[in-house]
Amino acid sequence: MRVSWRDVDDASTAGPAGNRAVVRLGPTGEDPLSSDRGVKSTTPKPLAVAGRVLVACERSGKVRDAFSALGFDAVSCDLEETATPGPHLRCDIRDVDRSGWDMVIAFPPCTFLTAAGAWRWPYTTRERNEAVRLVQYLWDWPVDRLAIENPQGWLNSHWRKPDGRFEPYWFGDAYTKRSYLWLRQLPPLMPTLLVPPAASWTEDQRHNKDRSGARSLTFGGVAHAMALQWGPLL
Ligand SMILES: C[S@@+](CC[C@H](N)C(=O)[O-])C[C@H]1O[C@@H](n2cnc3c(N)ncnc32)[C@H](O)[C@@H]1O
């Protein structure tokens, strides 16, 4: 079954993946699935929706919430439950209806793509091909504005040159963690709050039990930069 923006689960009421927990209002303000047609919903209708943003492969909710704070209809999607309550589709991104979005920002898994794990590449061809297929699926998304984020690694050396890069310390978080961006009709991110980097985020998380999870989380400053610099383009 395909999942669309109408099927967004709010994490506070989320059921198993694919459950229809919260249904957004249709363009007329009516609940399109209600059997009680004609009865006005009490849910307030937004005056205007700035645009519909899908944040693919995001469980932190950081980018979703940064866009939501600016009035965008932003939804995250991940195989995992969202770490912060908010509009979230818990499912495989390939099960999401590709129509109806104005911008897609994707953070596909980098375990088998990152240069940090390049020593494993000769032994992980199957996993890497799978990871590349997901990136290609995201890149082929029929949407005007698209961003894919990943660290330096297989994608820039074997797929395409990146269109931009950024570091957390460009946006107020005093860490280095270079990330690359592959962009369609979006400009590279510009630094807005440069601070001296105090440490490498990857090194800093070396003793964290959930280090792969922690390493891949998007920094708040980066999330706000995406919303502030890309949101107005919609
Ligand atoms: C590199 S992490 C990105 C984390 C993100 N930066 C954040 O702040 O939550 C990749 C994420 O992709 C999710 N993921 C992997 N395969 C997926 C798929 N097919 N559909 C949706 N999410 C997927 C994983 O569960 C993981 O949370």
- Write a three-state SS string for the chain: CCECHHHCEEHHHCCCCCCCCCCCCCCCCCCCCCCCCCCCCCCCCCCCCCCEEEEECCCCCHHHHHHHHCCCEEEEEECCCCCCCCEEEECCHHHECCCCCCEEEECCCCCCCEHHHHHHHHHCHHHHHHHHHHHHHHHCCCCCEEEEEEECEHHHHHHCCCCEEECHHHECCCEECCEEEEEECCCCCCCCECCCCCEEHHHHCCCCCCHHHHHHCCCHHHHHHHHHHHHHHC
**218 CB under 6 A from ligand 1?**
yes
Answer yes or no: is 31 within a domain. no
Q: Using pLDDT thresholds of 50, 70 and 90, give the confidence band for residue 209.
A: low
In this predicted structure, the answer to whether residue 112 has a pLDDT above a threshold of 50 is: yes
Domain range for 157 is 5-18+48-165+183-188+216-233
Q: Which residues contact 146 (CB under 8 A, 6 or more apart)?
A: 103, 104, 105, 106, 138, 139, 183, 184, 185, 186
Answer yes or no: is 158 within a domain. yes
Structural domain total, the chain: 1
- The CATH number given to whatever domain includes residue 60 is 3.40.50
In this predicted structure, the answer to whether residue 229 has a pLDDT above a threshold of 70 is: yes
Answer yes or no: is 121 within a domain. yes
Is the model more confident about 209 or about 133? 133
pLDDT at 77: 98
pLDDT at 20: 32
44's tokens: 């307030």
pLDDT at 194: 97
**148 CB under 6 A from ligand 1?**
no
Answer yes or no: is 92 within a domain. yes
Answer yes or no: is 203 within a domain. no
Candidate of 78, 88, 173, 224 to mutate for ligand 1, largest count of ligand atoms within 8 Å of Cβ: 78
In this predicted structure, the answer to whether residue 8 has a pLDDT above a threshold of 80 is: no
Q: Using pLDDT thresholds of 50, 70 and 90, give the confidence band for residue 93.
A: very high
Tell me which residue has tokens 């009421």. Answer: 13
Q: Which residues pair with 77 in a beta bridge?
A: 56, 89
In this predicted structure, the answer to whether residue 133 has a pLDDT above a threshold of 70 is: yes
Q: What residue's CA is closest to ligand 1, atom 11?
A: 57
Q: Which of 152-156, 187-191, 204-208 has the lowest mean pLDDT?
A: 204-208
Q: Which residues contact 171 (CB under 8 A, 6 or more apart)?
A: 191, 192, 193, 219, 221, 222, 224, 225
Q: Using pLDDT thresholds of 50, 70 and 90, give the confidence band for residue 205.
A: confident
219-234 in b/e form (b: 16+ CB < 10 A) is bbbbbbbbbbebbeee
Closest ligand 1 atom, CA of 149?
A: 6
Answer yes or no: is 53 within a domain. yes
In this predicted structure, the answer to whether residue 196 has a pLDDT above a threshold of 50 is: yes
Q: What is the pLDDT of residues 55-76, one digit of tens each?
A: 999 999 999 999 999 999 999 9
Answer yes or no: is 70 within a domain. yes
Closest ligand 1 atom, CA of 59?
A: 9
Candidate of 79, 84, 222 to mutate for ligand 1, largest count of ligand atoms within 8 Å of Cβ: 79
**93 CB under 6 A from ligand 1?**
yes
Ligand 1 centroid to Cα of residue 134, in Å, is 11
Q: Using pLDDT thresholds of 50, 70 and 90, give the confidence band for residue 11.
A: very low
